Amino acid sequence: MWRVKSLDAILATAEKKSLHRSLGPIQLTLLGIGAIIGTGIFVLTASAAQKAGPGMMISFVIAGAVCAVAALCYSELASMAPVSGSAYTYTYAVMGELLAWTVGWALILEYAVAASAVSVGWSGYVLGLIENGFKFDFPDLLSAGPTWSMNGFIPTPDFSAGIVNIPAIVVALLVTALLMVGTTESARVNAILVAIKVIALTVFIVITLPVIKSANLSPFAPNGLFGQYSGMGIVGAAASIFFAYVGFDAVSTAAEETKNPQRNVPIGLIGSLAICTIFYLLVALGAAGAIGAQPVLGAAGEAVQPGSPAFVAACALPANAEMLVCSNEALAHVLRVVGHPQIGNALGTAALLALPSVILMMIFG
């Protein structure tokens, strides 16, 4: 249970069954960006603003800095053991087989659940586009899975709302088929998808930065550093924003398929995090400065958690209809408010096209 696998044994095994080393620093960085920039930045901006106001910019920096420390650790370990397996392999070499087995299954669950969740999210986007654009009513039973309840200790499915999510299965199978073709081909497709995401965010930044009003950035931190309630304030927003960075560790799983991994894996990890942090910071500045990012207040003037009944009631008021924090698609909403509704819709479409890159990196891991 506690036996470790020495570094020499790990490297010897990797040499016998080595994967083809085809990835360079640019491809690794693009893989990292593909894994990181997903629904997080397009969705979480609103809830972060409710927690921290314009101070969410600091929250993005805090979350990025925490991830950077973890990325430095991954870089060091990937340089020492440039083989596949990521945290599983590193744990096996240091802490023993039992913990490595646990970490290995945790990684598989992380990547599988993330790929499934993004596939379901992509399905929702696509079906909305099809039903609104082509007036085609896709069967509900084939666009959602069953709901589950506990009958004593036995999980029981309820198929009344849905049987299976066909679009989610299709996109997951297409991405899996692409990965089976080869890593090089997958990296090329990922580069195209990443370009779409980067262009979409760049367009948002270019449009919003010139219309920033300093008055929209005051007060900068209405809920303070820690907030009146747990999970609020700049630090609370940083905790939720952390989700927008999840996926960078998947770069380390590519160590065995990377040319000169001691040099290129750290470049891919730190480079993708740095680029994404800069984009996130500029997007947050553009969103907050263009239309404001002040949180809505409860009936008694108190700070309210995003998603809470008090928050929903506050967002239902006509006076708060245009507030950034009340939008389910924050970035598209900002562009509509500043007079670019068509570009806002195009941004949503770009996010839709680019989401498969997140699925790709999760299944690749």
2 falls within a domain: no
Is residue 328 over pLDDT 80? no
Helices (H) and strands (E) in the chain, counts: 14, 2
Q: Dmax of the chain from CA atoms?
A: 68
For the record, the structure tokens of 65 come out as 């800095």
Which pTM was predicted? 0.80
DSSP 296-336: PB-TTS-B--TTSHHHHHHHTSGGGTT-GGG-SSHHHHHHH
**For residue 169, is pLDDT > 90?**
yes
Judge whether 3 lies within some domain. Answer: no
Question: Coil, strand, or helix at residue 154?
Answer: strand
Q: Scan for tokens 């020495």, then name that residue.
A: 6
Give the span between the Cα atoms of 199 and 227, in whole angstroms. 35
Strand, coil or helix: 147:
strand
Assess if residue 14 is contained within a domain. Answer: no
For Cα atoms 182, 185, 186, give the angle at the middle one, nearest 5 degrees: 80
Integer CA distances (angstroms), 163 to 150, 175, 357, in order: 18, 22, 26
pLDDT at 99 over 80: yes
Q: What is the pLDDT of residues 12-61, one digit of tens each?
A: 777 777 777 788 889 889 888 888 887 677 767 888 888 888 999 999 99
The pLDDT, as a whole number, for residue 230 is 67
Specify the residue for token string 């087989």: 97
Q: Is residue 351 part of a domain?
A: yes
In the structure, what pLDDT confidence band is assigned to residue 317 with cuts at 50, 70 and 90? confident
Q: Which two tokens stand for residue 175?
A: 């991405």
Given this model, what pLDDT does residue 152 score?
78
CB 35 within 8 A of CB 361: yes
CATH number reported for the structural domain that contains residue 126 in this entry: 1.20.1740.10
From CA 270, how far away is CA 69, in angstroms rounded? 9
202 inside domain: yes
**Domain boundaries, position 195:** 27-364
Q: The tokens of 95 are what?
A: 């802490």
Distance CA 139, CA 215 (A): 48
Task: Answer yes or no: is 232 within a domain.
Answer: yes
Q: What is the number of domains present in the chain?
A: 1
Q: Is pLDDT above 90 for 207?
A: yes
pLDDT by residue (tens digit) across 268-311? 999 999 999 999 999 999 999 998 888 888 877 787 888 778 88
* Residue 62 belongs to a domain: yes
Q: How confident is the model at residue 132 (pLDDT cuts 50, 70, 90)?
A: low
Residue-averaged pLDDT of the chain: 85
pLDDT digits (tens, 9 = 90+) for 258-279: 888 888 888 999 999 999 999 9
Q: Is the pLDDT of residue 174 over 90?
A: yes
Taking only the tens place, the pLDDT of each residue in 48-91 is 888 888 999 999 999 999 988 988 888 888 888 888 788 888 89
Look at residue 256 in the predicted model and tell me its pLDDT.
Answer: 81
**pLDDT category of residue 178 using cuts at 50, 70 and 90:** very high
Find, among 37, 25, 97, the residue nearest to 277 by Cα. 37
pLDDT of residue 133: 67
Confirm whether 22 is domain-assigned: no
Q: Which amino acid is at 41?
A: I
CB 223 within 8 A of CB 299: no
Return the amino acid letter for 280. Answer: Y
Q: Which residues of 4-35 are buried (b: 16+ CB within 10 A; e: fewer)?
A: bbeeeebeeebeeeeeebebbbebbbbbbbbb
Asked if residues 135 and 361 have their Cβ atoms less than 8 Å apart, the reply is no
Bridge partners for 151 per DSSP: 154
Give residue 21's pLDDT.
79
More confident call, 15 vs 362: 362
Query: In Å, how far are 127, 172, 255, 278, 338 from 120, measured between CA atoms?
Result: 11, 10, 29, 28, 31
**Closest by Cα among 141, 148, 187, 186 to 167:** 141
**pLDDT score for 105:** 94
> Whole-angstrom distance between the N-terminal and C-terminal Cα of the chain?
25
The angle that helices 330-337 and 261-291 make with each other, rounded to 10 degrees, is: 40
Instruction: Specify the pLDDT at position 39.
Output: 67
